[in-house]
Structure 1
Amino acid sequence: MKITGNSLTLTDVYQVLYDQATVTICKDHLQLVEKGRKAVDKIVQESQVVYGINTGFGKFSDVLINVDYVKELQLNLIHSHACGVGDPFPEVVSRAMLLLRANALLKGYSGVRPIIIERLVELINAKIHPVVPQQGSLGASGDLAPLSHLALVLMGEGEVFYKGRRIQAETALAEEGMMPISLHAKEGLALINGTQAMTAMGVVAYLEAEKLAYKSELIAAMTIEGLNGIIDAFDEDVHIVRGYPQQIETAKRMRAYLSGSRLTTRQGEIRVQDAYSLRCIPQVHGASWQVLDYVKEKLEIEMNAATDNPLIFNDGDKVISGGNFHGQPIALAMDFMKIAVAELANISERRIERLVNPQLNDLPPFLSPEPGLQSGAMILQYSAASLVSENKTLAHPASVDSIPSSANQEDHVSMGTIAARHAYQIIQNTRKVLAIELICAMQAVEYRGIENMSNKTRSFYQAGRMIVPSIIKDRIFSKDIEKATEWLKNA
């Protein structure tokens, strides 16, 4: 997969992250990088005063640095800014950071040497992934703390994930025959002054959310069969007159999943209307798809954006300190995705309640094989309710918060990395809720008769039963939830 700085898509990123595609660099764009680098070298040689090249950083931007110390300036920057704390980002997120940073620098506006981009790509292809603590970014001036831990690895410092181990970067580089890089003027700042931590986390979260959203509809279709749901609510005409494309497509998929089922009913056959958690699946899930489409658009813009500072234009004739490092577009997108995915869990939990509550259906109470002696799925619903409640606290928007930093020079920040991290956690919680719905739905359709299911749902049921066996006796259901959750993530 070739990167150009301008054309990276989520499909490309997926191939690098999960299919381990080899990354190459567009040579024509390296020429733009070389031009930008010559401009930086000229600025240093002529002692022009340019932020981040021969000045301090943040509140120290007015402090001029002697030409003899510009390399030390970059080293000090990375060391002092490597203040990340907490558990590391998942390894796949670290891999995404390398890819996104390389792609951004390849645009040619950052003033780095080609070797910096080449080394980032070499790390990807050698599967050397920096250990990057999750906490410590304010999401403006970029992801300074997280990306500093990434930059350490290029210098042979810090830690990496490599061949299933967490080891010193210097050791991994040596095993791959790579020498540490000494950062030159502007390069440390170019590596850390960007939004690649929040965007990488956002990309991984989005890819998981998209997959989960599709699975949520198939699970919901099985629930409809388990409850003898009314198929009329998914009639195409109903959704066309509302006009939302995502709602129309969701209803279309629901009709396809349930085509040929003898477990669905028509209006008035058993009841006139279903509850909203069944009847309004296209409206609710469709609205979440609207958000995911929005998030996808913003991520694909940001993945191909120049987000450091200053930016170098016209072969160095114009060097501007701007604010492209500010993560507000991604912060808002991540907060929006948090709400959208949390809603998939909210409506799923209500469907779980309808599957287990004997006051709401004609199935055995709590789907128990021996009601009373055995509790069946009673506490499965408790766990789902707990996860949904936790999601509601995580869904509080991070982007509405801002704490000034760097002596009030950086007086408004995005908290976008927090938003992305919380979005990812909501996705993990939601997958568990949907796993619980799947377990309950499979049990319900067994009582109805699996021979009466549609071809698509029956195939899904049969695959699911390979993971979670039928409930014929109370057992430790947390193990079933874990297995179903892992299957939904990886299948």
Structure 2
Amino acid sequence: MTIEVGEKWVGIDDLVRVARTGESVLLAAGARARVVAARDVVMRLSTSGLPIYGLNSALGANTGAVLPEGDLEDYQRRAVRARAVAVGPAYERSSVRAMQFARVAGMARGGSGVSPDVLDACIALLNHQVHPVVPRFGSIGVADLPQLSHLALPLFGEGEAEFGGEVLSGSVALERAGLKPVKLGAKDGLALISANAATTARAALVLHDATAALNAWLAAVALGYEGFRANLSPLHPSAVAARPATGQVEVAKQLRALLKGSALLTPGSARRVQDPVSMRVVAQVHGAAQGMVDLARTQVEVELNSAADSPLVLADEGVMLSNGNFHVPALALALDACAIALAQCASMSVARCQRFMSPALTGLPLQLTRHGPAHSGFATVQKTLTALWAEIRLRANPGSLDYMPVSEGLEDHACMALGVAEKLDELVERVRYLIAIELLVSAQAVDLRELDETLMGEGARRTYRQVRDLVPVLDEDRPLGPDIDRVQRAVAAGLFDPAQT
């Protein structure tokens, strides 16, 4: 199913389909008309004598230096080459496709003034599965110039690209795909690279994964409630509605759905009058986290559907305006907030797992083993939990403040948005391991309690069976690391996300 850009609103789910399932892209007819009109303005102003940044005036610290009229096209190629300074390991295919899609969607809004032929070449590169080699490090969030320069090089036969599973020179990749190098005209180079498509793409993928992780986490929590025989009064609709803070009503509703049919919903069935705080405030903390993720998703979709170019071409007015729309602090701050919110959830997950080790709280055997002190059971997993929490806590530190002035002090503020997105991605990866451990601990508690499955909620029962299809109950001590890895891979694949069931 082809994704059309330039007219309809495109969302994160559209980007994920292009990035991870290989959907093709089509430029809407109305968008093409806007692109052509904007290009006419660029061509007229390029010879008007008016100094315009990036068109007939140089970039960066050279701002104000007039470009010779005969050099406008060559300057665009040099501008791309000179900014291809990203270093480090290359992004995987899905992230590159996401970047290609994000930049195409942005240029399709008609504000970049890109040549129609260049935009068509970008779409052809994506649809023919030619994926530029894009290194990870270099962007400071004032447009992703380094990454997008590497993304652009193969369009005119330079740089490197992956095609058919092989990394080739840009020219060879084009040839094998049956494509020809495109000629850059005035402003085309700047249109390709002066954007935040790398940040938008990576943030979209990370937030998609964070949403799935939060859903799987609730499945683990519901299973834990069954194993603990928790008091479910904190999930009562009237209780959460009495102070409807961000997300808590919806999260409580999700947990109640997972526990539908559970004996725990019968009054007087809970073992304790009041459980540990980490079990009582899941709706509040996870609701806040989901709220932060939703806010960040909104910011990403604003970027996907905006013309954030500078200078911006306003075809109806016949002008090009220098502006600050290349700056994405709202997105960077939202991503930082997501990291902090997920860390809050992580600290509670560690606490819940730790509480399961204590017979005084659970009425279950010490360290969740029925064989007594001669066996370790889940005891040493507490070290893994602590290590993961430290890794998550480190990545919850705000990254949007870590900038330094560049370009002779002209660029004296940055939001480091791409780095913030990458930091969040690393955090989500570690969160999935926590979810895996919580699933294993909760399933072990269900087994040790010899709980009749018919007394469990529908969703919790499904989750329990999914865990046991992957990993048997822990009886004799065995290496638990491989078990955790196996369940983590299933979490990453979406097995425990009720939204994908």
Give the match for residue 470 of structure 2: 467
SS at structure 2 position matched to 1:396: coil
TM-aligned CA deviation for residue 33 of structure 1: 0.7
Q: In the alignment, is residue 425 of structure 1 matched against residue 430 of structure 2?
A: no
TM-aligned CA deviation for residue 164 of structure 1: 3.1
Structure-1 separation of matches of 2:439 and 2:381:
11
426-435 or 116-125, larger mean C-alpha shift: 116-125
Q: In the alignment, is residue 229 of structure 1 matched against residue 234 of structure 2?
A: no
347-356 or 309-318, larger mean C-alpha shift: 309-318
Equivalence map 1:62-461=2 (5 Å):
62-140=64-142, 142-244=143-245, 246-262=247-263, 266=267, 270-314=271-315, 317-448=318-449, 449-451=451-453, 452-461=455-464
SS at structure 1 position matched to 2:374: coil
Structure-2 separation of matches of 1:220 and 1:7:
35
TM-aligned CA deviation for residue 474 of structure 1: 2.4
Verify the 8 A CA contact 2:111 2:312 in the aligned structure 1.
yes
SS at structure 2 position matched to 1:295: helix
Task: Determine which of 61, 65, 68 is the counterpart of 1:59.
Answer: 61
Give the match for residue 8 of structure 1: 10
Give the match for residue 499 of structure 2: none
Q: What is the root-mean-square deviation of aligned Cα atoms in Å?
A: 1.8
SS at structure 1 position matched to 2:22: coil
Structure-1 separation of matches of 2:285 and 2:299:
22
TM-aligned CA deviation for residue 381 of structure 1: 2.4
TM-aligned CA deviation for residue 162 of structure 1: 3.0
Task: Determine which of 481, 486, 489 is the counterpart of 2:484.
Answer: 481
Change in Cα spacing, 1:283 to 1:158, as seen in structure 2 (3 Å) is: same
Change in Cα spacing, 1:422 to 1:267, as seen in structure 2 (3 Å) is: farther
Change in Cα spacing, 1:66 to 1:124, as seen in structure 2 (3 Å) is: same
TM-aligned CA deviation for residue 268 of structure 1: 8.5
Structure-2 separation of matches of 1:208 and 1:309:
31
TM-aligned CA deviation for residue 14 of structure 1: 2.7
Structure-2 separation of matches of 1:340 and 1:224:
22
Structure-2 separation of matches of 1:347 and 1:467:
25
Change in Cα spacing, 1:362 to 1:159, as seen in structure 2 (3 Å) is: farther
SS at structure 2 position matched to 1:340: helix
TM-aligned CA deviation for residue 413 of structure 1: 0.9
Structure-2 separation of matches of 1:364 and 1:222:
18
TM-aligned CA deviation for residue 359 of structure 1: 4.4
- 1:345-380 superposed Cα distances (whole Å, 9 cap, x missing partner): 221111111122344322222222533333222222
SS at structure 1 position matched to 2:390: helix
Listed as ranges, the gaps of 5+ residues in structure 2 are: 496-501
Change in Cα spacing, 1:477 to 1:164, as seen in structure 2 (3 Å) is: farther
- 1:272-296 superposed Cα distances (whole Å, 9 cap, x missing partner): 1011111111111111111122112
Paired residue total: 490
SS at structure 2 position matched to 1:62: coil
Give the match for residue 24 of structure 2: 22
Verify the 8 A CA contact 1:58 1:406 in the aligned structure 2.
yes
Structure-2 separation of matches of 1:6 and 1:118:
18
Verify the 8 A CA contact 2:31 2:110 in the aligned structure 1.
yes
Change in Cα spacing, 1:243 to 1:47, as seen in structure 2 (3 Å) is: same
Structure-2 separation of matches of 1:425 and 1:192:
26
Structure-2 separation of matches of 1:268 and 1:479:
36
Structure-1 separation of matches of 2:406 and 2:140:
9
- 1:141-200 superposed Cα distances (whole Å, 9 cap, x missing partner): x01111111011212222233333333333322121011223211111111111111111
Structure-1 separation of matches of 2:82 and 2:210:
35
215-224 or 352-361, larger mean C-alpha shift: 352-361
Structure 1 length normalisation: TM-score? 0.95
Structure-2 separation of matches of 1:256 and 1:483:
26
SS at structure 2 position matched to 1:92: helix
TM-aligned CA deviation for residue 54 of structure 1: 1.5
- 1:72-128 superposed Cα distances (whole Å, 9 cap, x missing partner): 211111111111112223322211111110011111111111122222222222222
Structure-2 separation of matches of 1:352 and 1:160:
45
Structure-1 separation of matches of 2:348 and 2:170:
45
Structure 2 length normalisation: TM-score? 0.93
Structure-2 separation of matches of 1:64 and 1:22:
40
Listed as ranges, the gaps of 5+ residues in structure 1 are: none
Structure-2 separation of matches of 1:53 and 1:316:
18
TM-aligned CA deviation for residue 36 of structure 1: 1.3
SS at structure 2 position matched to 1:419: helix
383-392 or 168-177, larger mean C-alpha shift: 168-177
39-48 or 380-389, larger mean C-alpha shift: 39-48
- 1:454 counterpart letter in structure 2: G
Change in Cα spacing, 1:269 to 1:444, as seen in structure 2 (3 Å) is: closer
Give the match for residue 36 of structure 1: 38
- 1:144 counterpart letter in structure 2: L
- 2:153 counterpart letter in structure 1: L
TM-aligned CA deviation for residue 265 of structure 1: 7.3
Structure-2 separation of matches of 1:429 and 1:388:
8
- 1:7 counterpart letter in structure 2: W
- 1:304-333 superposed Cα distances (whole Å, 9 cap, x missing partner): 111221111135732111111112121111
Structure-2 separation of matches of 1:390 and 1:180:
45
